[in-house]
Amino acid sequence: MIKTVTIVVIIFAFLYIGYIVFEHYYYNYLRKKIKKIIHVNGIRGKSTTTRLIDAGLRNCNKKVMSKTTGTIPMIIDVNNQEIKLKRLGPANIREQLRILRKAVKSGCDYLVIECMAVNPELQYICEHKMLHSDISVITNVRMDHLDVMGDNLKDISRSLSNTIPDNGILILGSEIGDNEEIFNVIKEENNKYHSEIFVSDKINDKTFLDDKSSHDDKSFLDLSFLDDELFNDNILTALKVCEVLGLDKEDFIKGMKQYKKDPGALEIIKRNDKTFINGFSINDPDSIMLVYDLLINKYNIDKNKLTILLNERGDRIFRTKQHIEMFKKIECEKVIISGDNVGYISKELGKIGIENKIIKRIDELDNYEIIFGIGNIKGFGFEVIDYYKKEIDR
């Protein structure tokens, strides 16, 4: 009996090893069928940057498939149609292999894919064992995912550096280029991979314009669709991809103007005398503060009329604590709370002198003139967005 069991175990072991070897060669074979893979990583702006690159490439007559893992995991197929990804269980990085198969089957030349891993080791596997990208993008480095990536910007920079390709091209957002400490960490990590580094331009730089162009005023490179400081870096990072690929910038920019926004992207929804600002997907405190400053200083929203809706999820306690600390810096008199751990959050905000109210029903939002939603989009966050958009449709 013991001998039979041993033989069965050995057979299964050989079958498993055989499968691993087959899979390795199979996906290497598939990878060679795709002309370029662009792997987009970073703390904020990954989905937007992926979508901007996708739109630019399409308008340069490239056959493209893209995948984002923003608010809703999504494929943009070669026909520019959005398809929601179906998952049978929790997110798993093997999903990237599934996308690779779909990309080859679709006959695309370019695959633009957002990094779906947070854990540094899994980021490494996604890049160096699965995708083997030609171009990797790191949009920015900010204080988020502290429980996995590290509790300081240097460690987070090292974590994100796991998607630097071998002997490829690395494109960094200008925010990274402006921070010497972060840039040097990534540059040092790149010594392992020997990729060529490019830093995206800033809006006040003219280096992204084609100096050899016959257009004296460069007006054909109109960048007036830049929404605000929050998105400029994403757009110019995508444009740097265009530059390193040697594509026509005019066509690429025209394409970016038509990009498909992520379902959870920042937007201002107005109906009657009420305004809702969807910032649920901007999770880290630095990014939230950036948007808050824009609302107050650029869009001239009256702080006295602004209510912050903090929606939290129970499995992101590290982020919840970050948000509580953040309220020491935000001048806001009205705060409402929803989601998970609301009792704990209310108590902690009270300790730092922030008056707040827990809301339980969606129609309670009608008591507030301007609401800025932050924290997380899961659960009640989706309900809030649907509530305001359905009100518009009535």
Mean pLDDT by 10 residues, the chain (394 residues): 69 64 68 95 94 97 94 93 88 91 96 96 96 97 91 96 98 95 98 97 54 38 52 90 96 92 84 87 88 84 89 87 90 89 93 91 92 91 88 51
Beta bridge pairs of residue 375: 311
Q: Indicate left, alpha or beta for 386 from its phi (over 0: left) and psi (-120 to 50: alpha).
A: alpha
Q: How high is the pLDDT of residue 227?
A: 52
Maximum alpha-carbon separation in the chain = 86
Q: How high is the pLDDT of residue 22?
A: 55
Q: How high is the pLDDT of residue 120?
A: 96
- Spell out a b/e string for 262-280, using b for 16 or more CB atoms within 10 Å of the CB, else e: bbbbbeebeeeebbbbbbb
C-alpha triplet 97, 100, 106: angle, nearest 5°? 145
Check if the beta carbon of residue 303 is closer than 8 Å to that of residue 323.
no
Centroid of chain to Cα 260: 14
Domain spanning 33-256, CATH architecture: 3-Layer(aba) Sandwich (3.40)
CA-CA-CA-CA dihedral for 250, 110, 246, 114, to nearest 10: 80
- CA–CA separation, 8 and 13 (whole Å): 9
Residue 194, token pair as written in the block: 């020997």
- CA–CA separation, 232 and 103 (whole Å): 29
Q: Indicate left, alpha or beta for 295 from its phi (over 0: left) and psi (-120 to 50: alpha).
A: alpha
Residue 84, token pair as written in the block: 């929601």
Sign of CA dihedral 7, 25, 47, 328: positive
- CA–CA separation, 61 and 123 (whole Å): 31
Q: How high is the pLDDT of residue 202?
A: 77
Cα-flanking dihedrals φ and ψ of residue 255, to 5°?
A: -65, -45
Q: How high is the pLDDT of residue 276?
A: 92
Identify the H or E element spanning 59: helix 46-59
Q: Give 2: exposed, middle or buried? Use CB within 10 Å, 0-12, 13-18, 19+.
A: exposed
Q: How high is the pLDDT of residue 28?
A: 76
Sign of CA dihedral 63, 51, 175, 299: positive
Amino acid at 237: T
- Residue 378 has a CB neighbour count (10 Å cut-off) of 17
Cα-flanking dihedrals φ and ψ of residue 61, to 5°?
A: 65, 35
Placement of tokens 């979508």 in the chain: 51
Q: pTM (2 decimals)?
A: 0.85
Q: How high is the pLDDT of residue 1?
A: 63
For 267-393, give the CATH class: alpha beta
Q: How high is the pLDDT of residue 214?
A: 36
**CA-to-CA separations, 119 to 124, 148, 150, 161, 345, in angstroms, rounded:** 9, 6, 10, 12, 27
